[in-house]
Structure 1
Amino acid sequence: MDDHPIRDPRILEALEACRPGKDDLSDPAMERLATAMAASPELDDLYERLQRLDAALAAAFRDVPVPRGLQERILARLAQAVPAASGETSGPAVPPEASSPEVSVCVSAGSPAANTAAIAPGIRRRRWIAWLGAAAAVAASLLVAVWLDWGPGPLGEDVDWNAAIVRFGADLQNGDFGSGRSAETAPSQYPLSLAIVPYPGTTWRPVQDFLGRSGIAYDLQDAWGFRATLYVVQATAHLPDAPDLYQPVLATGQCAVLAWQEGNLVYVLVVQGAGGEYRRFLNVSGGPVV
């Protein structure tokens, strides 16, 4: 079996297909996933975390009322999208069943009429598929817009910052740290904070279930070899609007954690080091605090 089942796309697809609270692992189609989980505690832990996350998301959707007027907006957008999807107007198509048997027999194979009769159903199917695609795109855009209107939820006052250190350590051990793409390609809704020194080689990657949310992580390493990860999630919290230069929210013998709020984003910086190494990553007056 693959030495790294979590990186196997087939395993990941099977994980995502498992529904929370359902016995999907007993399905013969999930045998490969079940076997991999039995041999990998890490994969089993990932399965449990995904199940909890999916259940929490489902509960969140159930608890939020449908905004007033959403149905009317969807129908209005669909009405606008139908002409654009079809690209042209045409008369009603005659279904093949309504054609006269005599006419069908009289049309020779290979004649223009026969070619038209053979192509028309395909055109109609393509138009129907295009209409459905446009409808799905409109519905998805409205759903995203409504979701953004709801806004991120609060983290609460009793955030477990130890969980951030545990996540940082796991990312270092399993090779996720630095495995992403250049920070210049990061999604605009999760920008690198101006409070952070943008060291060369900084990368970003998506993260799930960080403080119960999905977001992205920026992996940084300074010129002295110290490493840090800046986790960014959409949320609200009782935090300052800038990192504290002298008082991390948590400091242990191995790491320090700083957290602050910028708009609707919570930034959590976890730095490897027992002292004031975290200041090397803070951008004050155009450079790191050393």
Structure 2
Amino acid sequence: MASLLDPDARGRVILVGAGPGDPDLLTVRAVEALRAADVLVHDGLIDPRVLELAPASAHRISVAKRRSRHTVPQDGINALIIAHVRAGSVVVRLKGGDPFIFGRGGEEVEAVRAAGLRVDVVPGVSAALGCAAEAMLPLTHRDHASAVSFVAGQCKGLSEQDWSGLAGVGRTLVIYMGVATAPAIAEKLMADGVAPDMPVAVLEKGTLPGHRAIRTLLADLGAMVDREGVESPAIIVVGDVVELSDAEDKLGRWADVAATLAQGAGA
């Protein structure tokens, strides 16, 4: 059987996790896959230095997505990949973070397999892990959090989703794609019983130039995102572990407000 990067094994797709941004966080296997690419189908937030690792002769195709606007719909991406594989190309499908964490990697694997074609997956450092490490923010800690959950803040039916029990004492909640819906996320969590003074961190552009790690309280999350002009890509971390991070405090007057709310809730 041909190995993953066997030059004689043509006509296959390799889903590659590009990590949170910094090319230094690519795995060795990811770099090898990029160097083997005939066709590179990549997301829009991939650092240009990562794209440069593919051969100059590789055909580069951007399938960049923006909120509520996809340049190529998912069905189109699947068809594009399959067409190039059937033509005998080694197609590298390059995704930010890890392909199987909010990367639609599962959908693409299903489509390629349904077409009877070969697909391999190279995992990547997820955005949550890479950004948290940069901010010195442990997602679990024996004294503060024994569980961590990952959710998407821009998924279908946000208000109908049940997040109860995912955030609170002893738990860490990591929210992907939550910048635009930060006010609704804060309201949802507080309605589910999470204390208004629960520490929250927003990790913006993690591992990339211009990155920021900002700490506030849950009651202030939406206002802080607006006040600080936070932009995607960014992740939101909710939990006591946030207090251990190097994130810059941006509590402002909300420290007193949230403390008052918390006291009222406990009365």
TM above 0.5, yes or no, is no
Structure with the higher helix share, 1 or 2 = 1
Normalised by the length of structure 2, the TM-score is 0.26
Larger fraction in strand? 2
Which structure has the greater CA radius of gyration? Answer: 1
